[in-house]
């Protein structure tokens, strides 16, 4: 079985819909308007791009998707460092960054995300420990 189990997703609460959904392709943000009267910020709550043979780095801007509950970029060919901005994902309960080629320090604050109950950073070339 690949990805996040549906039984885990059923525990994630719904959040307020927001005006913009942000898609990040390369380093250029693209905005998709939401319904009128919504709040600001990204409205994605689930982003799983695992097992897609992706290359390159994780953009720092991904940390701006503060409504994200699940982020999985597992089992790709991503490189570089894990952006420190991922510590801004305060609603994230599942964070899978495993089986890539990340290197460098583990960003401080990842393990301090309030609702985080799954953090997988295995099978990378990281230094330090989640603090």
In this predicted model, what pLDDT tens digit does every residue of 67-88 receive, in sequence order?
888 899 999 999 999 999 999 9
Q: Return d(Cα 8, Cα 4) in angstroms, integer.
A: 7
Q: Return d(Cα 106, Cα 124) in angstroms, integer.
A: 10
Query: What percent of the chain clears pLDDT 70, i.e. is strictly above it?
Result: 66
Q: Is residue 112 part of a domain?
A: yes
Phi/psi of residue 6, each to 5°? -55, -30
In b/e form, how buried is each residue of 61-87, taking b as 16+ CB within 10 angstroms? ebbbbbbbbbbbbbbbebeeebbebbb
Q: What is the tally of structural domains in the chain?
A: 1
Q: Is residue 49 part of a domain?
A: yes
Kindly report the CATH number assigned to the domain that includes residue 75.
3.80.10.10
| Predicted local confidence at residue 42, as pLDDT | 53
Q: Name the DSSP letter for residue 107.
A: P
Q: Is residue 109 part of a domain?
A: yes
């Amino acid at each position: 079985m690949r990805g996040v189990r549906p039984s885990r997703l059923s525990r994630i609460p719904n959040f307020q819909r927001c005006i913009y959904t942000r898609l990040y392709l390369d380093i250029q943000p693209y905005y998709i308007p939401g319904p009128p009267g919504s709040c600001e910020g990204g409205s994605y709550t689930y982003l799983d791009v695992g097992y897609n043979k992706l290359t390159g780095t994780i953009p720092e801007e991904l940390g701006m998707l503060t409504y994200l509950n699940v982020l999985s970029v597992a089992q790709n060919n991503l490189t570089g460092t894990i952006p420190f901005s991922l510590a801004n994902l305060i609603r994230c309960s599942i964070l899978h960054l495993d089986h890539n080629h990340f290197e460098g320090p583990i960003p401080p604050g990842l393990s301090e995300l309030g609702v985080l109950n799954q953090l997988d950073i295995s099978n990378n070339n990281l230094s330090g420990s989640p603090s």
